[in-house]
């Protein structure tokens, strides 16, 4: 039986998720001890940003970089990324996931937007202390119990207004260099709840199987199968936020059963479906 000292030394993952039906454009997450929090490379449909509040992690977004306390990390929708512990060292972080429709609308009002909606940020990380302190202030206001909706709205608008003044926005993207690869990704996303076959994707994109396998990973950073699993996980998150039972979520997104959902969800979210569902209501809750 482990001693008390050994038990206390064991990494304890403390997940907290926050959501509020009155502010559906935001979702927040904090992890107090991330030594056991390991992600597969994945992407979000939201704009995602977070801060390292203690320790350090290895952050991949285009390249691997060591991110330490005080760093702000940013992921545009669709960016393949991962943040993982450094050789078992303790670290903690906070994340905020922002609906791109809301943020694109704010960019328009700030004169920073584009006709198509959300304009991506050009930086994947920042050490600007104003952003670090501003993010933490916003996080505290959003997750606080009893704060007025107007106060939370105003805090979010003020933070992102400031962020746009500090951070550069991406240059207008060039046209997709390979429309067939884009069609392959779109087909996978549209049919992620189905048991897809490679030949189906190839037919939809008019590509050979060998080219698709090589070029897809080079373009999107993951294999077609990894892309499919990530799309299923993002769909599962939406269904769970809507209150669908986990067994029905698993079936709806194309997993064989709830155990399969549990396994893949944890790989991509670094939390179990149960931990993710625990975050609801006005207050950030311990899973």
Tens digit of pLDDT for each residue in 95-119?
999 999 999 999 988 888 776 689 9
pTM, 2 dp: 0.84
Determine the pLDDT at residue 7. 40
pLDDT at 199 over 50: yes
| Residue range 276-287, pLDDT digits in tens | 988 654 444 333
Report pLDDT for 2.
43
Residues spanned by CATH 1.10.10.60 within the chain? 179-268
Q: Quickly count: other Cβ atoms within 10 Å of residue 242's Cβ.
A: 8
Is 66 in contact with 42 (CB distance < 8 Å)? no
**Comma-separated ranges of CATH 2.60.120.10 domains in the chain:** 13-166
Ordered DSSP codes for 3-58: -HHHHHHS----EEEE--TT-TTEEEEEES--TT----SB--SSEEEEEEEESEEE
* Mean pLDDT of all residues in 148-160: 95
Which pLDDT score is estimated for 111? 85
Angle at 38 between CA 235 and CA 240, to 5 degrees: 25
Q: What mean pLDDT do residues 113-142 have? A: 92
Q: What is the pLDDT of residue 216?
A: 93
CATH of 179-268, one of 1.10.30.50, 3.30.980.20, 1.10.10.60, 2.40.50.100: 1.10.10.60
Sign of CA dihedral 135, 63, 15, 189: positive
Tell which CATH architecture fits domain 13-166.
Sandwich (2.60)
Q: What is the pLDDT of residue 6?
A: 41
Residue 14 pLDDT level (bands cut at 50, 70, 90): confident
Of 84, 78, 75, 33, give the one whose Cα is nearest residue 50.
Answer: 75
pLDDT of residue 195: 94
d(CA 186, CA 207): 14
Instruction: Please determine, for residue 172, whether its predicted confidence score (pLDDT) is greater than 90.
Output: no
């Amino acid at each position: 039986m482990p001693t008390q000292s050994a038990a206390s030394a064991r990494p304890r993952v403390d997940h907290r998720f926050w959501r509020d039906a009155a502010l559906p454009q935001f979702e927040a997450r904090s992890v107090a001890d991330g030594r056991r929090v390991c992600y597969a490379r994945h992407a979000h449909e939201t704009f995602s940003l977070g801060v390292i509040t203690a320790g350090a992690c290895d952050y991949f977004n285009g390249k691997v970089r060591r991110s330490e306390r005080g760093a702000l990390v940013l992921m545009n929708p669709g960016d393949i990324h991962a943040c993982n512990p450094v050789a078992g060292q303790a670290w903690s972080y906070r994340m905020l996931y922002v609906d791109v429709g809301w943020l694109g609308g704010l960019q328009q009002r700030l004169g920073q937007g584009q006709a198509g909606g959300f304009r991506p940020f050009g930086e994947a990380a920042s050490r600007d202390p104003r952003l670090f302190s501003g993010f933490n202030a916003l996080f505290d206001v959003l997750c606080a119990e009893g704060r007025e909706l107007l106060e939370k709205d105003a805090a979010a608008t003020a933070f992102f207004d400031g962020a746009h003044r500090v951070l550069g926005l991406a240059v207008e993207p060039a046209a997709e260099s390979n429309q067939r690869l884009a069609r392959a990704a779109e087909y996978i996303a549209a049919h992620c709840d189905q048991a897809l076959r490679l030949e189906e994707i190839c037919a939809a994109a008019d590509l050979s199987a060998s080219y698709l396998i090589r070029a897809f990973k080079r373009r999107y950073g993951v294999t077609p199968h990894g892309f499919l699993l990530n799309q299923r996980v993002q769909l599962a998150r939406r269904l769970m936020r809507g209150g669908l039972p986990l067994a029905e979520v698993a079936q709806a997104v194309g997993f064989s059963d709830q155990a399969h959902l549990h396994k893949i969800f944890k790989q991509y979210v670094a939390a179990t479906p149960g931990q993710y569902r625990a975050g609801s209501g006005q207050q950030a809750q311990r899973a």
